[in-house]
Amino acid sequence: MAVVAGFFAASAAVIAGAQERAPPAHEDGFLAAAGRWFDEQFGKVGSGFQDAQKNVETFGREAGVAATTTANGAKEAADAVARIPNTRTVSGRETCRVALNGAPDCMAAANALCRNKGFGSGKSLDMTTAEVCPPQVYASGRSSGPGCKTETFVSSALCQ
């Protein structure tokens, strides 16, 4: 029994010595440190690629939403144009009346121009302003003077 006890004691001492001599988990040498650094960098690069992939996927979704919105806007514009098939542009000359504030009011002139062309109503597209003088001013050799007034008229309108 003493032999067995001695054997166990010797075995325990050998095992304890082997454990003391086992290399540490991280060696402090240059190559070990460089290896750990490379491992960390590869991990960071991998996570960077994953982040980039997520950004590309998000961009793809947002681009799809923008394309859908643009297509819907184009469809709405086409529908609006299709709803006005009887709209035409007409040319003519209809004098605008002067509003209370002194500015030309051409809404009635645009409507009158359109009614003269067989339409119900219209909106002014182009207006012209000119100075109109009595013949006596021009006969005296002047281009402006007393009796001259500024006149605005509708020269084209969008009629329905």
End-of-domain residue from the set 83, 112, 142: 83
Q: Which residue has the tokens 């590309």?
A: 56
Could you tell me if 124 and 150 lie in one domain? yes
Determine the residue type at 128. Answer: T
End-of-domain residue from the set 83, 117, 138: 83
pLDDT band at residue 25 using 50, 70 and 90 as cut-offs: low
For residue 40, the model assigns a pLDDT of 80
Each residue of 52-110: pLDDT tens digit?
777 767 767 776 676 677 767 767 766 666 556 678 899 999 999 988 998 888 999 99
CA-to-CA distance for 36 and 30, rounded, in angstroms?
Answer: 10
Q: Where are the alpha helices (DSSP H) in the chain?
A: 2-21, 30-82, 107-116, 135-139
Which structure tokens are listed for 156?
Answer: 């084209």
Domain hosting 133: range is 88-159
Q: Which of 105, 149, 137, 138 shows the shortest CA–CA distance to 124?
A: 105
CA trace torsion 30, 32, 35, 36 (10° rounding): -110
Mean pLDDT for all residues in the chain = 76
More confident residue, 117 or 36: 117
Whether the predicted pLDDT of 118 surpasses 60? yes
Is-contact 152 127, C-beta < 8 A?
A: yes
* Burial class of residue 135 in the structure, from the number of CB atoms within 10 Å of its CB (0-12 exposed, 13-18 middle, 19+ buried): exposed
Quote the number of domains for the chain: 2
For residue 106, the model assigns a pLDDT of 92
